[in-house]
Amino acid sequence: MRLDLRGLQISFAGLLVVSGAHYLGQDASEAGCLRADSGSSGPAIECSPDPLNVAHMVEIKAALSIFGIDEAEVRYRGCQKVPFETRMKGKGYLISYQVPANNNGKQLVAPIMHELAHVFQAREAGSFLALLKAPSLRIELGADFLAGLMSANIETQIPLDILQEDVVLVGRYYEKEEGAHGTPEQRNNAFRLGHFHGYKTFKKSFPAALKEFNKNLYGSLLN
């Protein structure tokens, strides 16, 4: 079954491609995954369940709580070759992450916050499919903005400049079209905009912050 909707191509047998991001799914209830890899649609990669124990990191637990996402709804898997991605899995979500060569799990805090931001964006939009009616660049920079706002709301020993560098790991290694995720400068600016302006203005009001980003702040990152 296929349908076209504003450039959206859905195949419930396998692959959904939208605005440079891939969604994978086996049926309509598993519409797919928002992937950092915007060009490849190769075979699925088998990975271990959360090898770096991301689920138990205090920063990730705090982010889930602030986003209003139940910990039980999210599972993680990781290996060295998988792209960062967020996939609907049944009634929950499966986040895949790329294991760093040094096995430093703290390097994943900012990228995972970016992926959790996609879950939040989808909920605010009503669904992943509704979210994907927006341009890919706005979705991705919005997730960076929310990750930056989250970094100001949680307690962590990770320096801000390291978090800012790490968030660019999402999409950077697999990007084939620069516009899909934005330039490193745009992404760093989005993250810092969330951390400083977003926190000063909205504190923990993430829905209001996201609305302001989509309406007014997104355009400032493109100039």
Q: How many CB atoms lie within 10 A of CB 116?
A: 24
What would the pLDDT profile of 183-214 be if each residue is shown by its tens digit?
Answer: 889 999 999 999 999 999 999 999 999 999 99
Closest CA to 194 of 218, 172, 169: 218
Between 88 and 217, name the one with better pLDDT: 217
**pLDDT the model gives residue 34:** 65
**pLDDT the model gives residue 53:** 97
**pLDDT the model gives residue 5:** 30
What would the pLDDT profile of 76-86 be if each residue is shown by its tens digit?
Answer: 999 988 888 99
**pLDDT the model gives residue 184:** 87
Q: How far is CA 123 from the centre of its chain?
A: 13
What would the pLDDT profile of 151-182 be if each residue is shown by its tens digit?
Answer: 999 999 999 999 999 998 776 434 455 446 78
Distance CA 68, CA 34 (A): 20
Check: CB of residue 62 under 8 Å from CB of residue 68: no
**pLDDT the model gives residue 45:** 65
> Roughly how many angstroms between the first and final C-alpha of the chain, as a whole number?
40
**Length of the chain, please?**
223
**pLDDT the model gives residue 26:** 31
What would the pLDDT profile of 16-75 be if each residue is shown by its tens digit?
Answer: 223 233 333 333 333 445 654 444 444 566 789 999 999 999 999 999 999 999 999 999
